[in-house]
Structure 1
Amino acid sequence: MSNTAVKGPVYFQEEAFNRLNTYLEQSSASKVFILVDKNTHRDCLATFLQQLENAKDFEILEIEAGEIHKNLETCTGLWNALSELDADRKSLMINLGGGVVTDLGGFVASTFKRGISYINIPTSLLAMVDASVGGKTGVDLGNLKNQIGVINHAEMVLVDSVFLKTLPQNEMRSGLAEILKHGLISSEEYWNKVTNLSALNLDDLDDIIKESIEIKAKVVLEDPRENGLRKTLNYGHTLGHAIESYFLTHPKKTTLLHGEAIAVGMILASQLSCKLQDFPEEKLASITGKILDIYEKVEFNKEDIPQIINLMKYDKKNSHGNINFVLLKDIGEPVLDCQVPTNLIWDAFKYYEEA
């Protein structure tokens, strides 16, 4: 099964590697580079290499694992490695990893010699349903998320849930946050489906991953440059990214996974939707309960909140000095470019604390 709603088609399960082998056989790639981090080198690379029929000469490039290494310093190391290994404009980069590897690898490929082709093979649930589809590449600037990057699509995205067997539960939950977001912005039917999973088992997930990718791909097709509709994919992210950034570099805070921060952001955004868009209160209570059943509550103190609010000014959806939120009128009815007074943000944190 493929989905060509984005420039680079998405292939699933067995078809994915058949397509890759055909592509490698037919492409005139001068060299093939496989980008992994320490975790995917250990857990996923051997499984991936077994799927290759006519293996050309591969060069393995490894980076440190984790969001803290998603920066220009890591990119510089990779650009230098590509140069030293005689990469040219006909080289191909295969990014085998989670969102850090696919975001950073896509950016490195898109900028090396003004752009070489790349393929994404996401190995985390988060990367499958979010990071690897839609052509967004990029890295963080200090603790500011995804400030440097370009939109440039992969040649193809290959999704195989076999890689999810290597993931710890907290990483599975992190990816589930983006699936929950797709439910909130698309339809009540999908929201109910993804919150009634009795357990995160791989059989249930295959169909949900496909559906989630299709929801995102449909939005990206209609608005590839994020001028309007694509902003809906940022539901929960305006505060969620700021929370993630704050916890990433605060010396006394435990770093949050992306989905853990976005889960908080979605509760806050849903409460703000109640205040500003007449979102139904009983649905807010239901969303809050379902999210807190999955994600451990995050502790905030009074010193944290002004610094988190300050970080929101770097959000990429902002324009003309305004911080723009995506809110909901109802499940499946997002509203773009909402201005939110600071006192209501404080109220939303109070709601979260008391939930």
Structure 2
Amino acid sequence: MRASRLVSLLLLLQTRGRMTAQELADALEVSVRTVYRDVESLGAAGVPVYADRGPAGGYQLLEGYRTRLTGLTAPEAEALFLAGMPGPAADLGLGPVVAAAELKVLAALPGELADRGGRARQRFHLDAPGWFRHPEPTPHLTALARAVWEDRLVEMRYRRWRAPREVTRTVAPLGVVLKAGRWYLVARCDDQVRTYRVGAVLDVAVSDERHERPADFDLADYWREWTERYERDVYRDHARIRLTVAALEFMPYVFPPEMSRGARAAAGEPGPDGWLETTVPIESVRHAHTELLKLGAEVEVLEPAELRERLAATAHAMARLYPGAPDAPAGAAGPPATPARPCPLTPRADPAAPVRR
């Protein structure tokens, strides 16, 4: 275990250059004291690693030193071929490059490791898009990825949801992200880092002018913070509802995760009639109206009044389309005595699994 860590420390210094003891400790998931001991061991073994003192200091290898230590363990060989992601690589225009690189790696590996890498690819497959969602066309993804790689400014025409619908922006691309089968561009625009859906980009002109990438920008950190903020900001309002236990159990199958989690977390105890009260996060009255209709007669909106009125109007309109329903006598009020399940799915089924329709 320690030998593997020493190799990792050496390769970190070789690939990243100067690193502080704390940065090495974070990367290796060990204490700073352990890093001190490991650096001493490398030095004792003849590796030319030295330390610079001061605020801008750190450990680094003697300039020009390179190790030829490139051996792979069996688990590393397996993981290497799981990380290829041929589908996303093809979207980026790198499909042939990834395939060629894999062939070269396979040719260089010993027989046993090559076999294990091939078995991993045969046994595991990544399919990023969700169920019932067709891949979004992204004709400008390759050009944007090239601009990201080369730090070039881009002028792009973009379609957004609010007026004016089409805008032209000059942006400094910082990265591309694949999320749930959709590609996003992270770029700096007007001194702010913003996120754009690549499928909404209508036209792209890559400039010859380069931009300076912020030294402290980390794409993974930005994306984690942005997605958390986005999910938090989308569901700004709440609706107070009463519904059956069966409807609450059914929510994960038909509701967005944030709405389902919020409703289940705030749910009270059911009464003798099997109904309970809770609050559900909503994006807007219009959006909540569409979502809550999925639960049919097993949910009643208490607040806000506008949402209750919308659902009531829809219910009356449907009653006019289907007059004389045997379970809805004239003048009846309140929930049915024995509410029907909205769907034959049971709560034990996997919400992410495909549903036969």
Normalising by structure 1, report the TM-score: 0.25
Instruction: Point out the structure with the larger strand share.
Output: 2
From the two aligned structures, give the one with the greater helix fraction.
Answer: 1
Question: Which structure exhibits the higher relative contact order, with contacts defined as CA atoms closer than 8 Å and separated by 6 or more residues?
Answer: 1
